[in-house]
Amino acid sequence: MLPWSMLLACTSSPKAREALIGDPALFVRSVGRGLPLVVVHGGPGSSHDHLEVIEDMAPEGYRIVSYDQRGVGRSEPLTSGSWLDLEAHVRDLDRVRYWSGSTQIDVLGHSWGGIVASAYAAAHPDRVRSLVLVGSGGLSKADHLRGAEALRSRREALEASGAMPDTPPEGIEPGCRYLWRQLAASYADPRALGRNPAPVSSCHPELNYQTWRAVGGYDLTQAVAAITAPTLVLYGREDPQAINAEKIAELLPGATAPTWLEACGHQPMHECPSAFEAALDAFYGDLDP
């Protein structure tokens, strides 16, 4: 059997610059030319793959830099003693920034990735040129639980009405089926996930559990006052996580009122790609060069 690092080398894409960096090794990927726009994927326990669609939506003058968070996707598998707390994820994101070759980056975080992106921007405000939070999780454990409860209520209502798909599509691993149902409930139309199962094509349920356990009772509500970057708070109108949208927009100094994508849920880059791309273009187009 080929070692893990050789298997990775065999799967490199010819159109992208890809590498393994640091310890534990992170898989990083850069596509295009221009300023580095670093995309922080959600989860925890998923990979960046389903956000590669953003590479085709890159605003003019930007290149998309993506990475697999520690232990997932094509990053190095973790041992039981590895750190999974929020501070470790912040350090990892700074490694990605360094690899990008820039002292300052634009950051886009989706879902759990919005929490990581907010923590990074709070810890290193001078290294973040702009911040986009897409369907971000809450800025504290209490707010995260509010979002989780909103998702549970929506899922139960959809199941009671018969609007939830009966079974996941073929190819979804048994351990990921619960995640699939949770994610389906976060869509404006739950059946849409069956037509595009990419967001659960790579999931690590145990890593999801271990990460939330390591993150513990996090609270960024005061720390984010240090963020100086212009900030876009972007949510699908039907996203259960949107229960925290107004609070996030109020707490981040560089944010205005949330931008809403109608008839869209937690995965706007898949559910309403044209509206999502237009929102990005409008935000980045207004930034100083």
pLDDT at 133 over 70: yes
The predicted-structure confidence for 16-41, as pLDDT tens digits, reads as follows 899 999 999 999 999 999 999 999 99
pLDDT digits (tens, 9 = 90+) for 213-230: 999 999 999 999 999 999
The model's pLDDT over 7-16, given as tens digits with 9 standing for 90+, comes to 343 344 447 8
Residue 50: the pLDDT is 87
pLDDT of 9 reads 37
Mean pLDDT, rounded, for 111-120: 98
182 or 152, which is more confident: 152
**Do the bridges between strand 17-21 and strand 26-31 make them parallel or antiparallel, or are there none, so unpaired?**
antiparallel
Q: What is the pLDDT of residue 228?
A: 95
Has residue 86 got a pLDDT over 50?
Answer: yes
Q: Are 71 and 41 in contact (CB under 8 A)?
A: no
Statement: residue 5 has pLDDT above 50: no
pLDDT at 174: 72
Evaluated on CA atoms 190, 38, 72, 143, the torsion sign reads: negative
- Segment 91-102, tens digit of pLDDT: 999 999 999 999
Counting residues of the chain whose pLDDT is more than 70, the rounded percentage is: 89
Q: Are 178 and 204 in contact (CB under 8 A)?
A: no
Provide mean pLDDT across the span 253-266. Answer: 97
The arithmetic mean of pLDDT across residues 37-51, rounded, is 92
Considering the chain, what is the average pLDDT of its residues? 89
For residue 66, which amino acid is it?
Answer: S
Average pLDDT for residues 42-50, to the nearest whole number? 89
pLDDT tens digits, 174-212 = 777 778 888 889 999 988 876 665 555 567 888 888 899
pLDDT at 181: 83
Domain covering 4-284, topology: Rossmann fold (3.40.50)
Cβ–Cβ under 8 Å, residues 39 and 48? yes
According to DSSP, the residues that pair with 266 across neighbouring strands are none
